[in-house]
């Protein structure tokens, strides 16, 4: 039986180019699915364009963050995305350039910023999920928000488009209970609330960020994200110099990135052990074959699923922290100006992909 219930309907209207759209949440407690429907959106046709040039020019149609409340006690374990037009016909998925789900009720592990629960991009499979033995712990009342960047290059305007995001969950009475697995995001150059892009000089270059974790745990797997001329992203033990994990790009003859590999340490196995208060480093390497510096042309980050040894030591949100406030402020202005990068948007996308059935699967570069 479908037990459907409208839990939230909030129009986060902005007087800007994005048409006002509403979001509703329906729960199907027999299927253990929650469906978020957002829309309608009018998406004018836009010329095909390099994705990052498009971002730089603010040509993607960013929606404001649309807020809703998560109603379930359980574990989030995957999602499906579908688009339809006013007549109910299917709309090509790739016009949704990316979708980011923010959890305002929990902090990221490394950064004083709201959790990015999941992301989906043009290349994401129709359904992505992790095994029922693991999941992201969720509780009723958690404040979530979702935003989308549109890029309609279908050659015609699309009107009255609705977005349906179906989130899969595992109920709290499952026995044995899933292992708490948290999204982790490690960027070589993130300023929270601002940008994570950097310049790429001619030849080889690298950028690194060192960090410690407030709680130890196990990394189940990682994916990564780089821009053109990117070579690889490595996670290193900064105290010994040992390389712990590497994700590599696939590049075409011009150095354009077409794929980033994933590394799976094992969903049921031990994973990669990371210690609390130990220095680690995430490093991004680039190789620019041209003789020109690509200004703000690069990004490099690693994302994954992390099982903390003690969930009680997960860092708490400090609403008075200036960095945290900058993150919130940057989310509030979304949809009101050109895109300000997309740090963290693909955290869960990679996670899901790598936990998905095909261990050899690779992710296509996208935003
Ligand atoms: Cu990027």
pLDDT computed for residue 286 by the predictor: 98
Task: Give the right CATH number for 22-171 from 3.30.1050, 3.30.70, 3.40.1130, 2.60.120.
Answer: 2.60.120
pLDDT at 349 over 60: no
Judged by average pLDDT, the poorest of 206-220, 255-269, 306-320 is 255-269
pLDDT band at 67 (very low <50, low <70, confident <90, very high): very high
Q: Cα(37) to centroid of ligand 1, in Å?
A: 27
Q: How many other CB atoms sit within 10 Å of the CB of residue 220?
A: 27
pLDDT at 62 over 60: yes
pLDDT computed for residue 8 by the predictor: 29
Q: Cα(193) to centroid of ligand 1, in Å?
A: 15
pLDDT band at 353 (very low <50, low <70, confident <90, very high): very low
Q: Taking the mean position of all CA atoms in its chain, how far away is CA 172?
A: 25
pLDDT band at 123 (very low <50, low <70, confident <90, very high): low
22-171 against 180-364: fold identical: yes
pLDDT computed for residue 51 by the predictor: 58
pLDDT computed for residue 49 by the predictor: 61
Domain ranges in the chain? 22-171, 180-364
pLDDT at 209 over 60: yes
pLDDT at 29 over 50: yes
Q: What is the DSSP string of 280-316?
A: EEEEEEEEE-SSS-EEEEE-EEEEEEEEES-GGGSPP
End-to-end CA distance of the chain: 37
**Percent residues over pLDDT 90 in the chain:** 65
pLDDT at 346 over 50: no
User: What mean pLDDT value characterizes the chain?
Assistant: 84
**Percent residues over pLDDT 70 in the chain:** 81
pLDDT band at 333 (very low <50, low <70, confident <90, very high): confident
- Reported as type and span, the H/E element at residue 142 is strand 142-150
- Reported as type and span, the H/E element at residue 220 is strand 217-226
pLDDT band at 60 (very low <50, low <70, confident <90, very high): low
Q: Cα(158) to centroid of ligand 1, in Å?
A: 26
Neighbours of ion ligand 1 (CB under 5 A): 299
Q: Cα(277) to centroid of ligand 1, in Å?
A: 29
pLDDT at 315 over 50: yes
- Reported as type and span, the H/E element at residue 203 is strand 203-211
Report residue 163: phi and psi, to 5°: -110, 130
Residue of 358 and 336 predicted with greater confidence: 336
pLDDT at 264 over 50: yes
pLDDT at 63 over 60: yes
Average pLDDT over every residue of 45-52: 69
Q: Which CATH architecture has domain 180-364?
A: Sandwich (2.60)
Q: Cα(238) to centroid of ligand 1, in Å?
A: 25
Q: Cα(341) to centroid of ligand 1, in Å?
A: 7
pLDDT band at 79 (very low <50, low <70, confident <90, very high): very high
pLDDT at 213 over 90: yes
Q: Cα(170) to centroid of ligand 1, in Å?
A: 31
Torsion on CA atoms 129, 245, 207, 295, rounded to nearest 10: -40
Average pLDDT over every residue of 26-35: 96
DSSP annotation of 157 reads: -
Average pLDDT over every residue of 273-293: 97
Average pLDDT over every residue of 191-200: 94
Q: Cα(298) to centroid of ligand 1, in Å?
A: 7
Distance CA 49, CA 149 (A): 14
pLDDT at 166 over 80: yes
């Amino acid at each position: 039986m479908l037990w459907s219930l409208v839990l939230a309907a909030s129009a986060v209207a902005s007087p800007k180019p994005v048409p006002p759209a509403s979001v509703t949440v329906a729960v199907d407690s027999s299927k253990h699915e929650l469906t978020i429907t957002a829309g309608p959106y009018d998406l004018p046709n836009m010329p095909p364009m390099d994705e990052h040039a498009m971002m730089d020019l603010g040509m993607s149609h960013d929606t404001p963050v649309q807020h809703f409340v998560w109603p379930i006690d359980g574990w989030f374990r995957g999602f499906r995305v579908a688009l339809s037009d006013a007549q109910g016909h299917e709309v090509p998925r790739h016009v949704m350039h990316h979708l980011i789900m923010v959890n305002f009720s929990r902090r990221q592990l490394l950064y004083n910023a709201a959790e990015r629960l999941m992301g989906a991009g043009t290349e994401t499979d129709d359904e992505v999920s992790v095994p029922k033995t693991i999941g992201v712990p969720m509780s009723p009342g958690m404040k979530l928000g979702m935003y989308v960047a549109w890029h309609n290059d279908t050659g015609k305007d699309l009107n009255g488009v609705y977005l349906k995001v179906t989130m899969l969950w595992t109920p709290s009475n499952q026995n044995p209970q899933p292992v708490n697995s948290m999204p982790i995001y490690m960027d070589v150059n993130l300023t929270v609330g601002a940008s994570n892009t950097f310049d790429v000089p001619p030849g080889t270059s690298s950028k690194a960020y060192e960090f410690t974790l407030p709680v130890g745990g196990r990394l189940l797997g990682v994916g990564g994200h780089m821009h053109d001329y990117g070579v690889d992203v490595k996670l290193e033990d900064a105290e010994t110099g040992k390389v712990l994990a590497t994700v590599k790009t696939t590049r075409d003859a011009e150095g354009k990135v077409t794929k980033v590999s994933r590394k799976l340490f094992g969903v049921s196995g031990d994973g990669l052990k990371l210690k609390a208060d130990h220095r680690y480093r995430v490093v991004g390497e680039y190789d620019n074959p041209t003789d020109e510096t690509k200004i703000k042309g690069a990004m490099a980050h690693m994302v994954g699923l992390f099982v903390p040894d003690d969930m009680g030591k997960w860092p708490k949100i400090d609403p008075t922290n200036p960095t945290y406030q900058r993150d919130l402020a940057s989310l509030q202005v979304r949809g009101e100006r050109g895109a300000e990068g997309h740090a963290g948007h693909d955290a869960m996308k990679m996670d899901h992909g790598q936990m998905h059935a095909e261990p050899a699967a690779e992710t296509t570069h996208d935003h």
